[in-house]
A = this chain, B = another copy of it.
Amino acid sequence: MSDEKLLMTPGPTMIPTRVLEVMRRQIIHHRTENYERGFDELCENLKIVFQTKNTVMTFVSSGTGSMEAAIVNMFSPGDKVLAVSVGAFGDRFADIASIFGLEVQKLAVKWGEAADPAEIAAILDGDRERKIKGVLITHNETSTGVTNDIAAVGKLTAGTERLLIVDAISSLAGLELKMDEWGLDVVVTGSQKALMNAPGLAFAAVSEKGWAAREKSSLPKFYWDFKKYRNGILKQSENPPYTPAISLVLAQNEAVKMILEEGLENVFARHKKHALAAQQGVAALGLKLFPKQKDSSYVITAVLPPDGVEIGKVIKDMNVSFDVMVVGGQKHLKGKLLRIGHCGYFNRFDLIKTFSALELSLQKAGYAFEPGASVAAVQKAVAD
């Protein structure tokens, strides 16, 4: 058992050496040209990753903080929102909205399925008094390994007064997300998933419609006040408003550069290819995906364990014996899922190693399958 683990988890994910080297540097002050140059570069490059013309703001925060920030900047107590939940993180978004006094209509989709845009459309169409001011939705739900069709949902809110607020924490820079083209009003994400950095930063971008809503929102906001961060970036006020996580910001700049060097489309293609390879590996083991194949995420693969196998023990063995970390299920799916992340900084050999470790641990657990089958299947799928 070593200290260095291969994290095939839905975040944190592995950090490139180039990025770690930046974190290792002695601190610099944030009110200097050197820092500003790095931060400005990050801001510009994040626009490319968000596929937006809007300002992308950086917060010292976990991803969850940026979800709270979206709520307190866009809404007022009593505002009604439709919270579309397909799992634990969708539930969290609904919870945050409730706690801040919003009236939450929840569309709770069965875990393992994606939200049906037609169902969302029907709810919005049925809201004849236009009480629903916004839709909250998770792009990629790591708890179930399901990706929602955000482009389709965007069509329902674009050109209306309703806001579309997207939790893209586990998707951004791993899955295609076209903020402007899809008409998304708020997109939030975190540093520790496909953005290939350590956890500690969150990001948000807001559409023009969203900025207008910000002006009407009466929920109190200080630390999360989007306006201060945007005005700072636009050099209209102190930038940033509070001491930033300097090391993480500069490390993030390096990581985003790497993403752009690989090419955003190539990054998306890599995630898709490896997800499909993982699905082949799962099938070769005679196992089934938890979601329907069409809803299955390209950044995480959720697998139903074989009957009679205590999957928690398998996951632990992969970690202890082979230094490969994958995760189990959350909430009511505890002990009922195996989830393999393939998100951010990883390559074909990481995935092959993961299936190899999985095979070795499944064998120990007494599950019968053809040894090497999944490794061969993955290898075949990622060969070119």
Q: Which residues of A contact B (CB under 8 A)?
A: 3-5, 7, 9, 11-15, 20-21, 23-32, 34, 60-65, 68, 95-96, 99-101, 190, 192, 198-200, 220-223, 241-248, 319, 325, 327
Q: Which of B63, B243, B327 contacts A242 (CB 8 A)?
A: B63
Q: Which of B14, B34, B199, B243 contacts A243 (CB 8 A)?
A: B199
Contact B29 A200 (CB under 8 A): no
Contact B246 A64 (CB under 8 A): no
Contact B4 A26 (CB under 8 A): yes
Q: 17 other contacts beyond A60-B199, A199-B245, with CB at 8 A cut-off? A: A3-B28, A5-B32, A12-B29, A12-B246, A13-B27, A20-B26, A23-B23, A23-B247, A30-B199, A60-B60, A60-B61, A64-B222, A65-B223, A96-B222, A101-B220, A198-B245, A199-B244
SS class, residues of chain A in contact with chain B: loop
Residue in B closest to A325 when the chains form the complex, CB atoms: B29
Task: Pick the 6 closest A-B CB pairs, nearest first.
Answer: A200-B245, A24-B24, A62-B242, A198-B247, A64-B242, A23-B23
Contact A199 B62 (CB under 8 A): no
Contact A192 B29 (CB under 8 A): no
Chain B positions within 8 Å of A190 at CB level? 243
> A61–B243 Cα gap in the complex (Å)?
9
A325 → chain B closest CB, angstroms = 6
